[in-house]
């Protein structure tokens, strides 16, 4: 059975609601865990990098939160998407549906959870003495740009994994490398040589983290050209990946149901 576009949207929203409730029901804390998990992660990193390495202080907490929370969103969404088509084999057996449905569903689930996490981020910033700035209004623009990049990367990761199952381990390794090379824990302006800083910012994740910190900490406007470049590239990649999904639609069905 093939779904119309309207029915596909209805199924997507129903699955999104069901999956969020199902995920929350798996823990005693339920929906609170969506916020508690990243909060504990940031607290652990602050303990290691801020206290044990004597780099602490309110300023470091604010700096760390502005880097780690956006990065966690990216890494978790892409990692979670890798096995999304395989995990959706039950629905694949029942209806003829574009396989892009599954990674996009994962991205939507994580987006809903991230909205709560961003609220936590603002609370932490204020609690540690960060002044509320007018430039915070730019955060949705940066977050939307990041969402486009997440969609592109999630579609790519999910497209490869059914053909090469071990690809999910490569994605996990790449995410770990990105965490330590995207400026999550350091200010590139004081660590990277000036002549290499432009090259460092060609890493789109590093560029997004820099833009978050510009608007949240320093009160500067974001780099609009950089955001445009990331958004445009992400849209092109996503468009190409949707063509790949259409080209290999039957192959995916055989791989996950065979």
Domain region containing 245: 5-257
- pLDDT for residue 61: 81
For the chain, give the number of residues: 258
Task: Give pLDDT tens digits for 143-182.
Answer: 999 999 999 999 999 999 999 999 999 999 999 999 999 9
Task: Give pLDDT tens digits for 95-111.
Answer: 677 889 899 999 998 99
Which residues does 136 contact at the CB level (< 8 Å), separation at least 6?
Answer: 122, 215, 216
pLDDT exceeds cutoff 60 at 198: yes
123: number of Cβ within 10 Å: 13
- pLDDT for residue 140: 97
Q: Is 37 exposed, middle or buried (0-12, 13-18, 19+ CB in 10 A)?
A: middle
pTM value? 0.84
Number of domains, the chain? 1
């Amino acid at each position: 059975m093939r779904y119309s576009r309207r029915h596909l949207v209805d199924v997507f929203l129903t699955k999104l609601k069901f999956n969020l409730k199902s995920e929350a029901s798996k823990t005693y804390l339920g929906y609170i865990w969506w916020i508690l998990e990243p909060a504990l992660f940031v607290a652990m990193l602050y303990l290691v990098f801020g206290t044990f390495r004597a780099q602490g202080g309110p300023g470091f907490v604010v700096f760390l939160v502005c880097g780690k929370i956006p990065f966690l969103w990216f890494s978790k969404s892409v990692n979670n998407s890798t096995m999304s088509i395989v995990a959706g084999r039950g629905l694949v057996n029942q209806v003829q549906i574009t396989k892009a449905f599954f990674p996009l569903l994962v991205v939507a689930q994580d987006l809903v959870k991230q909205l709560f996490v961003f609220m936590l981020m603002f609370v932490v910033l204020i609690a540690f003495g960060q002044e509320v700035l007018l430039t915070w209004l730019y955060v949705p623009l940066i977050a939307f740009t990041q969402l486009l990049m997440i969609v592109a990367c999630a579609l790519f990761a999910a497209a490869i994994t059914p053909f090469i199952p071990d690809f999910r381990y490569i994605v996990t390794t790449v995410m770990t490398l990105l965490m330590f090379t995207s400026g999550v824990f350091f200010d590139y302006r004081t660590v990277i040589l000036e002549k290499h800083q432009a090259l460092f910012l060609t890493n789109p994740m590093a560029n997004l983290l820099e833009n978050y910190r510009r608007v949240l900490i320093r009160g500067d406007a974001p780099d609009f050209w950089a955001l445009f470049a990331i958004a445009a590239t992400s849209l092109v990649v996503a468009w190409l990946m949707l063509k790949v999904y259409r080209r290999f639609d039957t192959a995916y069905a055989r791989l996950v149901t065979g």
